[in-house]
Structure 1
Amino acid sequence: MLLRMPTSLSEAQRYLAEGAVPVGGATLVWALWQRDGFPEQAMSLRELPEATLIEREALGAAVLLHQVDDRVPDVLRRAASTVGTGAVRRTATVGGNIVGSTLRCLLPAALVLDARATVLDREGPYETDLAEVVAKRHLLLGLRWRDPVTSGYYKAPGEAGGPPPLVVATAVHTGSDGRHRLFVAVRDGYDVISETVPCHTGPDRALEALDDTGLGSLPAEAREAVRREVTGILGGPADR
């Protein structure tokens, strides 16, 4: 297998056109390749500047999970810090987790940041939403978002090999009208549901509004976690 490591978007685009398979951190595909056979060409983005950014409002797809630190909002940092073991976080990438993993541990955090994705295909890079990235399994270059006023993250305890633990991600953004809006995303099993409601009148009204969205049909345990997280974030300190 020939491993391509482009240093420019034009190189990456050319390798894609030649049939190179994105490898990410190889934590998910390696076992499959050992079973089914290795591709002729694979491609890693770890030398591509656009895919290795770590900024307050941007994160590259080739960033390793253990590198996601307090340069990004708390919700994203905490989400990355709870993925797998330390060994997994030293090899798994942001892009591999969002696009390649069935758990998509970073997806709720990215959704509450109202993140947009930059992806690459054979025609070149373009921006799209996270729903399209997940559905079509695009080659992710990176994420960009608006810096939130505050954010929070909760992940229920889970057992190795057991069902995916409940995740509740929250963030508050300032809208174009100057008022605050609450973003909530919940991973319940393998499904991720996200909603946004006004929150400038306080947590009780925000929770009432959330009950009228898809989050209102969640199981009781998940609804209670949402209530706890929303109450905490709307009365808590600003995001670092």
Structure 2
Amino acid sequence: MLLRLPTSLSEARNCMAEGAVPVGGATLVWALWQRDGFPEQAMSLRSLPEANVLEREALGAAVLLHRIDDRVPEVLRGAAATVGTGAVRRTATVGGNIVGSTLRCLLPAALVLDARATVLDRDGTYETDLAEVVAKRHLLLSLRWRDPVASGYHKAPGEVGGPPPLVVATAVHTEGDGRRRVRVAVRDGYEVTGGSTECAAGPDEVLDALERTDLGSLPPAPRDVVRREVSEILVRATDG
């Protein structure tokens, strides 16, 4: 197998046109390739500047999870820190986790940041939402968002070989008109459910409004965790 390492977007497009299979940290595909056979060509974005950005409001798809630090909001930092083992985090990438993984541990965090994705296809780059990235398995270059007022990440304890643990991600943002909005994303099993509402009313009214979103369809136990996490993030946003 030939591993190609493009250093520009034009090189990356050429690799795609020539059939190179995108690979992140190979933590997910290596075992499959050993079983099913290796492709003739693979492509890593680890040498592509656009895929390696690490800033307060941007994160590249080729960034290794163990490199994610306090330059990004707490919700993303918390999500990355709980993926697998230290060895996994030193090889797994942002793009591989969001696009290639069935667990998508970083997806709830990206959703509550209201992140937009920059993707690459054979015609060039364009911006889209995360739903399209996940559904169509685009080649992700980077994520960008507006810095939240406060954010948080909760992951329930899990058992090795057991079902995916519950994840609740939260963030409070200031909108363009100055009003604040809380966003919540929950991974329950393999499904991710989200909802948002304005923070103009009191905590009880905010929680009741979230119950009227898709979050209200969650089972009772995850809904209790959502209420706790939202109550905490609203207090932190007020204190901040």
Q: TM-score, normalised by structure 1?
A: 0.98
Q: Is the 8 A contact 1:151 1:170 kept in 2?
A: yes
What is the match of residue 134 of structure 2? Answer: 134
CA–CA distance in 1 between the matches of 2:100 and 2:150? 28
C-alpha deviation, 1:204, in angstroms: 1.1
Q: Report the more deviating stretch, 174-183 or 92-101.
A: 174-183
Report the number of matched residues.
240
What is the match of residue 34 of structure 2? Answer: 34
What is the match of residue 80 of structure 1? Answer: 80
Q: Is the 8 A contact 1:59 1:144 kept in 2?
A: yes
What is the match of residue 212 of structure 2? Answer: 212
SS across alignment from 1:160: coil
Q: Is the 8 A contact 2:149 2:237 kept in 1?
A: no
What is the match of residue 229 of structure 2? Answer: 229
SS across alignment from 2:236: coil
C-alpha deviation, 1:13, in angstroms: 0.5
Structure 1 vs Structure 2 CA RMSD: 1.2
What is the match of residue 183 of structure 1? Answer: 183
SS across alignment from 1:235: helix
What is the match of residue 12 of structure 2? Answer: 12
C-alpha deviation, 1:200, in angstroms: 2.3
C-alpha deviation, 1:237, in angstroms: 5.4
CA–CA distance in 2 between the matches of 1:239 and 1:143? 28
What is the match of residue 50 of structure 1? Answer: 50
Q: Report the more deviating stretch, 192-201 or 45-54.
A: 192-201
1:154 counterpart letter in structure 2: H
1:144-177 deviation per Cα after TM superposition (whole angstroms, max 9, x unaligned): 0010000011000001111000000000001122
CA–CA distance in 2 between the matches of 1:217 and 1:167? 16
Change in Cα spacing, 1:68 to 1:238, as seen in structure 2 (3 Å) is farther
Q: Is the 8 A contact 1:183 1:197 kept in 2?
A: yes
Identity %: 78
Change in Cα spacing, 1:123 to 1:139, as seen in structure 2 (3 Å) is same
C-alpha deviation, 1:60, in angstroms: 0.2
SS across alignment from 1:50: helix
Q: Which runs of 5+ in 1 are unaligned?
A: none
What is the match of residue 101 of structure 1? Answer: 101
Change in Cα spacing, 1:73 to 1:189, as seen in structure 2 (3 Å) is same
C-alpha deviation, 1:90, in angstroms: 0.3
1:116-158 deviation per Cα after TM superposition (whole angstroms, max 9, x unaligned): 0000111111100000000000000010001000001100000
Q: Is the 8 A contact 1:74 1:239 kept in 2?
A: no
Q: Is the 8 A contact 1:151 1:239 kept in 2?
A: no
SS across alignment from 1:236: helix
C-alpha deviation, 1:195, in angstroms: 1.1
CA–CA distance in 2 between the matches of 1:223 and 1:199? 18
SS across alignment from 2:222: helix
SS across alignment from 1:154: strand
C-alpha deviation, 1:239, in angstroms: 9.9
CA–CA distance in 1 between the matches of 2:208 and 2:82? 30
SS across alignment from 2:3: strand
2:7 counterpart letter in structure 1: T
1:148 counterpart letter in structure 2: P
1:180-206 deviation per Cα after TM superposition (whole angstroms, max 9, x unaligned): 000000001000011110112232111
CA–CA distance in 2 between the matches of 1:180 and 1:202? 12
C-alpha deviation, 1:98, in angstroms: 0.1
Moved over 6 A (4+): none
2:106 counterpart letter in structure 1: L
SS across alignment from 1:226: helix
